Amino acid sequence: MLLGRAYQLQVVHYEENAERLDRMRLRRDLVPALRGNIYDRQGTLLANTTFRRVVDLEATFRGVYGRERTDLIRSVAAQCGVTEIEVRDAMNKAMDLPLRADLPSANVNLSVKYLLTRNYSFQGSLSHIVGYVNKASVGIAGIEYTLNHWLSGEPGQYRIEVDSRTRTLTQRWIQKPKPGKNLTLSIHYGFQKAIEEIAKPLENPYTIIVSNPKTGEILSMVSSPYYESARMVQPFTQVEWDRLQNDPNRIFINRAIQTRYNPGSLIKPWVALCSMEQSSAFFQTTIVNREICKGNFPVLTTFGDTVHYRDWVATGHGEVNLFFALQKSCNTFFYNLGSLLGIERMYDFSSVSRLTSKSGIELPNEVAGTFPSADWKKNTLHERWYYGDTLLTAIGQSYVQLTPLEMCKLFELIANEGVVARTTLIKNGQAPTTRVLDYPKAYWTFLKEALGAVISRPGGTAYSVFLGAPYALHLAGKTGTAETGLEGVYHSWFACFYPKEDPEVTVLVFVEKGGFGSATAAPVARQVFDAYLEYTFD
């Protein structure tokens, strides 16, 4: 019976048992790869990974007793640079001990683990862009998440032969780890910190975006409040984590791309573009048409009474045309222009102009804005569309809601005269450009001059803010004040590009519940632009 069983095991089931023995005798261990570094556009190190080799004492001393155990304790002490007493103390506390950094390799009898630590050498709002990793060094947020495949590298593998006590006999590389690729952002960290200092007096959440309209590169994107990447890779208690998750300021929300707001008067240049999209006769009429603004736009209702849609200047602006309506941000002119265009034309143009399209930025969870239509309101709110909805849409109120980055892209589109580059956070990312709108040069010149008048001519809504600035004549922009649903509380907007003849930079400032655009956002934008001129963005 014994001979028969031996024959069965060694001959009949030889291959099966040999394979099982190999699985017991041989194992593979993964060695994590170093994650790629992240730099700003000037070469400042923002994130890197360091590793430590530690001796897993539990695995090292498993099945080892007597004199062999004493010898192994002595070996561990020598390779870790500690005393034998410290080794025994660590064993009693179930602790690991770090290997000496000057030793290129460890004793084969030691079970070694590789511990990676992701280091973030920056502070502030850049956390919304860079993000952070988890314990396994996998990207969880920001560009660490979206470009995890680029940064993570490939882990290595050891083949380890063990004895009956599962102790290591031999080990050799099957594949050495390949480090991740480095990444250079388009962000200028020094400029980003300067913007944070400028915005410190602001008490409400805000977003400030600075971009290069020609390349699509984001030079700075500040969204406040924010979390700290360096803190996110440290251990949390459940109480601490719950407090962060339930923070009323929503510190994990990047307001530049994840929150929609009424744009207010910042939409008016887009309405002017929409009139350009119509027939040449329509736009020519729009340009030469003059209206008398008395401070309100009367609308006769079906019940026979009159509803007055207000201008922000109660006494009115007097005689205005499209140029002056943009310069002075006259609501009544745009009520009338929106009425002439109609909501369906404006809705169609929102797609043509890519107003509500996602930018393509290398960040997760970007949301698209909303531009309403009669069908949208019927399907979403189960209500009919009213004439008043059209009027309010033309001044950036009602149901139109856009992200700060979408508004920044609108001004890039105007700056580039109909061409837009895909937004990127990668330096020299060679983002593709697309011609979105194709209008005569004279149309673009007209619009740029009108937006220039906002800043450089008396009566412009930002004239007093930029008065005395040496660059004011070459700056084009627009203020925006949007209602919030609370009486007397407004969102504050300002966007501009420079120089208007051949733009190289776009600046957008948004302050949540910050008041009038000319009183809050525009003064901050001037300080941001002044700071921009002090930096080099090669």
| pLDDT the model gives residue 263 | 97
Q: How far is CA 419 from CA 415, 416, 432, in A?
A: 8, 5, 10
Rounded distance, CA 161 to CA 28, Å?
9
| pLDDT the model gives residue 425 | 96
Return the top range by mean pLDDT from 231-235, 286-290, 460-464: 460-464
Residue type, 386: Y
Rounded distance, CA 271 to CA 251, Å?
34
Return the top range by mean pLDDT from 102-111, 121-130, 161-170, 276-285: 121-130
Set out the domains of the chain in order of their start, with CATH numbers: 31-159 (3.90.1310.10), 189-532 (3.40.710.10)
pTM summary value = 0.88
Alpha helices, DSSP H only, in 112-228?
127-130, 142-146, 148-151, 189-198
Rounded distance, CA 297 to CA 283, Å?
21
Question: Within 13 Å, how many C-alpha atoms sit on residue 343's CB side?
Answer: 21
Instruction: Report whether 103 contacts 81 (CB < 8 A).
Output: no
- Provide the pLDDT confidence category of residue 462 given band limits of 50, 70 and 90: very high
Site of tokens 């590789």: 114
Rounded distance, CA 106 to CA 78, Å?
11
Q: Is the pLDDT of residue 23 over 60?
A: no
Find the mean pLDDT for residues 498-522.
96
Q: Is the pLDDT of residue 24 over 60?
A: no
Q: What percent of the chain has pLDDT over 90?
A: 66
Both tokens assigned to 275: 């009139």
Both tokens assigned to 387: 């004439």
Rounded distance, CA 249 to CA 34, Å?
35
| pLDDT the model gives residue 18 | 58
| pLDDT the model gives residue 176 | 81
Worst-scoring range by mean pLDDT, 25-34, 104-113, 152-161? Answer: 25-34
Both tokens assigned to 197: 């200092």
| pLDDT the model gives residue 26 | 59
Rounded distance, CA 216 to CA 208, Å?
16
Instruction: Report whether 153 contacts 35 (CB < 8 A).
Output: yes
Worst-scoring range by mean pLDDT, 51-60, 255-264, 517-526? Answer: 51-60
Q: Which residues, at least 6 apart from 82, have a Cβ–Cβ distance to it below 8 Å?
A: 97
Both tokens assigned to 13: 């089931």
Rounded distance, CA 321 to CA 471, Å?
26
Q: What is the pLDDT of residues 212-255, one digit of tens each?
A: 999 999 999 999 999 999 999 988 888 888 888 888 889 999 99
Torsion of CA 529, 533, 534, 538, to 10 degrees: 120
| pLDDT the model gives residue 175 | 78
Q: Which residues, at least 6 apart from 471, have a Cβ–Cβ distance to it below 8 Å?
A: 498, 499, 529, 533
SS (H, E, C) 102-145: CCCCCCCCCCEEEEEEEEECCCCCCHHHHCEECCCCCEEEHHHH
Both tokens assigned to 424: 């990127």
**What angle in degrees, to the nearest 10, is found between the helix axes of 268-277 and 331-341?**
30
